[in-house]
Amino acid sequence: MKRTGSLFLVALLAGTLTLGAYKLLFENPSAHGISSGQELPVFQTSNLPVYPAGAAIEGVDFTLAAENTVNAVVHVKNITLSRGPSLLEFFYGYEERARPQVGTGSGVIISPDGYVVTNNHVIAQANQLMVTLNNNKTYEATVVGTDPTTDIALLKIEEEGLPYLAFGDSDQVKVGEWVLAVGNPFNLTSTVTAGIVSAKARNLGRNQSFLQTDAAVNPGNSGGALVNIRGDLVGINTAITSQTGSYIGYSFAVPSNIARKVVQDLLEYGSVIKGVLGVQTLRPDLVKERGIDAVEGVYVESVEEDSGAEQAGLRQGDIIKQVDGVKIRTFTDLTGYIASKSPGDRVEVRLERGGESVSVPVEVRERQTLQLPLLGFTVKNLSEADRKKFKTDQGVKILAVPPSSEKYGLVGKVILAVDGQAIRDVKDAGKYFGEISRYGQTSITLMDEKGEKERLIFQ
C-alpha cells in the first residue's frame, strides 16, 4: 500500500511538472515572441513557416504580393506534333499519323494588351500554344520572338485590360531578401511558394547570370514569376538543380533586368542585340598562379580592338570593381550587368589601377568577336585599318583556329562568304555558320592581304 502511494505521488508530481513546462513553453506568448491572440506558425515539409492572415515576419507580409501576382501568371500549354518510326512505315511505306505531345509551363503577363514572357524551352518546337489565365479563360498564343541564349521567349495573346506585373530592378535585389515563386507546377495552377534569395550572379555553365533562391520550384514552374514582397517582377523562374527532376533545395531565375532587355529587343528588332565592354578577363585560378594578390573584382587580361573599353583606355592589369555603382566580384557579375544594356549605352566603370581607384565612362558596343559554331574559328569585325588593308567593307577576320585547322594558314585572312552567302559582320557569320549541316560539306570563301581569294571545302 505504501509502495502504491509512493508511485501515485511520483506520477502526480511528474504530471504537474509536465503541465507546468507545457504552459511555460507553449502557452506563454513571450516564449516565442508571438503576440496574444495569434496562432503559432505551422511548419510544412519544406520547413517554410506558414503564417495566419495578418501575421508578418519582422513586418513582412506575403499576402499582397501573392494577390497581385497570381492573376498575372498564366499556364502555358505546348502542343507538338511528332511522328516516330513504325514497323508499318518500315515494311509497307505506311505513314503513321502525327501524335500530339503536350508540354506545360508558366508565363507572366507583362502588359495589359496581352504580352506574355516565358522560357524558350517551354515553347520550343511548338505547333500550337495555349495560354490559360487564372480565371480559366484560354487563348491561343503566337510567338513574338525567342532568345535561346537567355532562355527567354515573348508571346502574345489577343486581349485587353489584363492584369500584369511590372518589372522590378533585379540589380537592387539583396541576398537574404524574401521572394515568392508563382507558377503552375505539376499542372497545379496559381501555386505560390516563399523563400529567400540565396545568391546572385550564379553561372550554370551558360556564361550567364542567374538569381538563386530556395523558394520551391518544380516542373511546370518554368517561365513563372519570381517577385519581391511588393509584387515587383525580379526574375523569370528557369531551372532547378536536381538529380530527381523535382525541387531539392535550390532554383534559378533569369534576372528581370536581363529579361526586360530581351523583351525590348525582341519587340524592336525581332532579335536580341547584345553589347559588351570589350575586355578579356583572367580566371581567378590563373590570377593566383601568376602570383597576383587575391582580388575582389574582375582582372582585365586584354582589351579588344575597336571596343568601348579600348576607347576608354582600359588596359591589362586593371581590376574592375564596380559598374554604375553595382559591385563586381566575379566575371558573372560583370556579364550579368552588361547583358541588361544595349549597344550605345554608357556605363561608369570603377576600377583599381596600380593601387589607385579610377572611374571611367565606357560605351557598350556590339560584340566585335565571335567563336563560329561547328568550326570553332574565332573571328572579329573588320577595323578601319583592316578595311583599308583588305580593300573591302565586308567580311570577318580570323583571329584563331583550333589546332586541327592550323595547317591551313587561315589566321589573319578574311572570310567573305560561306556556302555562297555573303558575310558582312560577326552577326552574319554567327547566323550562316549556325545553319551549317554537320553531315554535308561547307564552302568558305577567303581573302588574304594581297586581295587574292580562295575557296576551302570542309567535310
Q: Which residues are within 8 A (CB) of 67 and not within 5 positions of it... i.e. 6 or more apart?
A: none
Q: If you compute the radius of gyration of the chain from its CA atoms, what whole number of angstroms results?
A: 29
Out of 106, 147, 151, 170, which one is annotated catalytic? Answer: 151
Q: Parallel, antiparallel, or unpaired for β 421-422 and 414-418?
A: antiparallel
Out of 198, 222, 251, 256, which one is annotated catalytic? Answer: 222
What does the block give as the cell for 69?
501576382
User: Would you tell me how many other CB atoms lie within 10 Å of the CB of residue 171?
Assistant: 18
Instruction: Indicate if 75 belongs to the active site.
Output: no
Out of 121, 198, 209, 340, which one is annotated catalytic? Answer: 121
Instruction: Indicate if 35 belongs to the active site.
Output: no
DSSP letters for 363-409: E-EE--EEEPTTT--EEEEPPHHHHHHHT-SS-EEEEE--GGGGGG-
Instruction: Indicate if 302 belongs to the active site.
Output: no
Which candidate, 83, 190, 157, 76, places its Cα nearest to that of 123?
76
Are the C-beta atoms of residues 105 and 222 closer than 8 Å to each other? yes
Q: List, by residue number, the catalytic residues.
A: 121, 151, 222
